[in-house]
Every structure is written in structure tokens, then in C-alpha cells.
Amino acid sequence: MEKITSAQNSRIKAYAKLHTRKERDHTGLFLIEGEHLLEEAEKENMVETVLTDTPDQYQLKNMIEVTPEIMKKLSSNVSAIHLIGVCHKKQMKIEAPHRLLLLDDIQDPGNFGTLIRTAVSFGFDGVVCSRDTVDLYNEKTIRSTQGAMFHMPVVYADLSAYLDDLHKDGFTVIATALRNAVPMHEIEKKEKMAFILGNEGNGVSLSLQNMADERLFIEMNGFESLNVAVAGGIVMYQYHQ
């Protein structure tokens, strides 16, 4: 087994740069941490290298032994991590969908990851993000998906153009909104449905609301709005396949 003991090693320096979106986009690589995420990534054959400071505890392919100091340098976790995987991105494609989640400028990686995890749980076929939505491979996004990101196609697109294509394909498009909207219980299930959730501060952009077939609001007492991940969970449960 290869062993690296210096944090100044060129490969370690290269891996450390993967904490930036620019480097992830440039190399097509990203980091994951912990045994559970590695197991999920392995199912999709996305793991290229595994770094560990406790090699006797694991029997994994392509392992490199490193020092605890190197693990600390590469980890974004506050607690000690003993496995870090270097993974390659894979080309994602949404095929024959009937339920889609569309995300308009979601900025919080925790919300993003939770929405992906919920979409998997309720049988959605894909997640389509605006160009300005937070990076799928942000370490906080990855952690909050709990591995669901490896089993759900997530793509970035111009949502206006994407909505045009959905309408041509017979989709009913629903935008969440607080004004001029229909209570959720009045909107019936259709064979093909896509739901737009918006930015944490501004909601779904008016231009996308105007392109939707319906605007939906969740009936509630006491508050006007919910956290976007909570609202998304309610909507996806209501309309799951």
C-alpha cells in the first residue's frame, strides 16, 4: 500500500484544492468523507482513491495510507474522520421522468442536500437546478444528502428553457408561491408533474411563476412561510408517485 506522510506532497495539495468549486469543475473530482458515503459512491463506481490514517481497519480498493495531520487538512468535518474518498463526477441524465423537482437559485447547501434526499425518498425522477443554485459537490451538500446524491440525477439548466420543454412533453408545472396561489389540497395529481421551489429569501422568480400552470401555497396556521426544505418535503410527499 502506498503511504504519504507529508502534507506538502503534490497529490495532497491537489486534493486540498478540491474544496473549491473552481477546482472541482476543472478536474471533475470531488471529496467525500466517512464510511457510509464511500459505500454509496462505490455502488456507482465513482471512487478513484481512498485515503485513510487507519489502514488496518478497512479493506478497500485503491487505498493510500496518510497521517492524521493530512486527514485533518483534507477534512471539512469538525470531528475526526478516518476515510476520505476522491471521486469522479459522472454524467447525469434524467430519463422518462414523471415527477421532477426544480430548484430556482437555492443557496443553502443544507437545504439543497435535504431536498435531494427527500426527492429520492418520495420517488422523484430527477432534480433540475438553475445555474445559480449551490454546487452539488459542496461538502455540506454532500453530507446533508446522506448518500442520496449518488442515486438521483441532478442537473443544472436554464430553467426557462427547461420549462418550455416540459410543457411540450405534457408536464403540469407547479410553482410554490405566497401570492395569487391555490391551496395545495385543491391541486390534483397528474401523470407528469414538476414542482418549482425558490430561493430562501426571494422564493421562485416571478418569470418562472408566470410560466407555471399553477401557483401553490401550503395551508398553515401562525406563519406565512416555511423553510424551503420543509416546504419541499411536504409537497413531494403530497404528490409522490
pLDDT digits 0-9 by tens, 47-77: 999 999 999 888 888 999 999 999 999 998 8
In this predicted model, what pLDDT tens digit does every residue of 1-16 receive, in sequence order? 899 999 999 999 999 9
Mean pLDDT value across the chain = 95
Distance CA 78, CA 28 (A): 25
* pLDDT > 80? residue 44: yes
The answer as to CATH 3.40.50.2300 being correct for domain 99-238 is: no
Q: What are the structural domain ranges in the chain?
A: 2-88, 99-238
The answer as to CATH 3.40.462.20 being correct for domain 2-88 is: no
Backbone angles phi, psi at 88, to 5 degrees: -105, 145
Distance CA 183, CA 115 (A): 21
Q: What whole-number percentage of the chain has pLDDT above 90?
A: 90
* pLDDT > 90? residue 130: yes
Amino acid letter, residue 238: Q
Q: Of 51-60, 133-142, 212-221, 230-239, where does mean pLDDT reach its minimum?
A: 51-60
**Prediction pTM value:** 0.92
Query: What is residue 33's predicted lDDT score, i.e. its pLDDT?
Result: 96
- Distances 199 to 16, 177, 204, 237 between C-alpha atoms, Å: 30, 11, 6, 20
Query: What is residue 60's predicted lDDT score, i.e. its pLDDT?
Result: 83
